[in-house]
Structure 1
Amino acid sequence: MGRTRIATTAILAGAVVALAGCSGPDGKETPSKSAEPTSSGLASFDPCTALAPEKLQAQGLNAPGDPVDQGIGESGCEFDGSEFLLSVLKGENSSLSYWEGRRANMGVFEPNQVGSRPGIKMISAGSVGQGICSQVIEAGNGSVSVQVTYSANKKQSDDATCAKALEIAQVVEPKLPK
């Protein structure tokens, strides 16, 4: 339970920092470049069923997961385990260019490949060294994020944490709509 709150706080803190750049120099909200969001094809993708129960159990995670809504256009599922918390979130309107626009808020931001799709390995500036890493996967005009958050007493290096996020993202990737 404590890890869920910590992970949600870390995600929301990163989102607040990322969204802080949404106003212009005069403090007024800047208009969106795209008035009509385009469909990403993620509407039918369910993060809670993206990983089979046996895959989750093999990672030491509990199934089923708990649905979550980040309140920032991302919804998904959290799976708690003895060593880490796994969050699988879909952002129907959060393309890779959306994440590129938040690069300045990241301590680690490395474009990469997840299976056959472009992706981004990310650690928010405040989470470097804390056992938290996200692997974003392109899915149409949106994205899916796989975030691994290690327990304080099981914390891994950033490289190991990101390797675990990528490993799990590679299992999710084939299930994403094109």
Structure 2
Amino acid sequence: MTRRSRRLITTAACAGLLSLSGCALGGEESPAPQPKPTGLRDFDPCTFLTADDLKTAGVAEPGEQVENFSFEPGCRFEGEKTLLTLYKNQDETVASYATGGNWDRYEQLDINGRNAARAISGGSSESGICNVLIDAGGGIAMVTVGSVLPDDVPDPCGEAEKLARQIEPRLPS
């Protein structure tokens, strides 16, 4: 017997044993691996908002990328009276921002069953800028609403929360 024919016989025997072992186990195939959730990795703040979202917020496309911090990229949209920025942060949560941020005010709330918070950044109380953070995809999505001119948006927190409630169902779990 040649070396080549021994390899063929060994391969055939192993294949037969493997198929028999599958039969002995009820012929069950192992399930196909499920794709791993990507969380916010593929979440793009510049393309996430729909035309309806932008209309609700009183802003228009195109958005402009904002990268003040590499760990918290965002996209800024401007309207006649309103400034809107949508950020993502894959490393923080609503709970960690409560203790780790510089806030004049930080109020936790619930948006459609998700942890969320309404927050005024330190020193922004008088400037009419409000943030609403929502736990999403293992991190947070943050809606920030401000005014083009002072008092253009009488209730920036109300506007940010309204938009956050509108987009929440589409955010990653």
Per the TM superposition, whether the score is higher than 0.5 is: yes
**TM-superposed deviation, 1:64:** 2.2
Among candidates 80, 85, 97, match of residue 83 of structure 2: 85
Offset from partner CA, 1:96-138 (integer Å, 9 cap, x none): 23202235x2111100012221101100120012110000000
2:71 is aligned to: 73
Residue 168 (1) aligns with residue 163 (2) = yes
Instruction: Indicate if the aligned counterparts of 1:40 and 1:141 stay in contact, CA closer than 8 A.
Output: no
1:112 is aligned to: 109
Offset from partner CA, 1:27-70 (integer Å, 9 cap, x none): xxxxxxxxxxxx87101212112221233134321112112212
1:127 is aligned to: 124
**In 1, Cα distance between the equivalents of 2:83 and 2:47?**
16
Among candidates 117, 136, 139, match of residue 139 of structure 1: 136
Which structure would you say has the larger RCO, counting Cα contacts within 8 Å and 6 or more residues apart?
A: 1
Instruction: Indicate if the aligned counterparts of 2:128 and 2:150 stay in contact, CA closer than 8 A.
Output: no
Alignment: residue pair count: 137
Which 4+ stretches in 1 moved above 3 angstroms? 153-157
**In 2, Cα distance between the equivalents of 1:96 and 1:54?**
26
**TM-superposed deviation, 1:72:** 4.3
Instruction: Indicate if the aligned counterparts of 2:57 and 2:82 stay in contact, CA closer than 8 A.
Output: no
**In 1, Cα distance between the equivalents of 2:163 and 2:106?**
18
Higher helix share: 1
Instruction: Indicate if the aligned counterparts of 1:147 and 1:165 stay in contact, CA closer than 8 A.
Output: yes
Larger C-alpha radius of gyration, 1 or 2?
2
The two structures have a TM-score, normalised by structure 1, of 0.70
Which runs of 5 or more residues in structure 2 are unaligned?
A: 1-36
**TM-superposed deviation, 1:150:** 0.8
**In 2, Cα distance between the equivalents of 1:115 and 1:64?**
28
The two structures have a TM-score, normalised by structure 2, of 0.72
Counterpart code for 1:149: G
1:25 is aligned to: none
Q: Which moved more, 1:130-139 or 1:116-125?
A: 116-125
Instruction: Indicate if the aligned counterparts of 1:76 and 1:89 stay in contact, CA closer than 8 A.
Output: yes
**In 2, Cα distance between the equivalents of 1:163 and 1:80?**
18
Counterpart code for 2:107: E
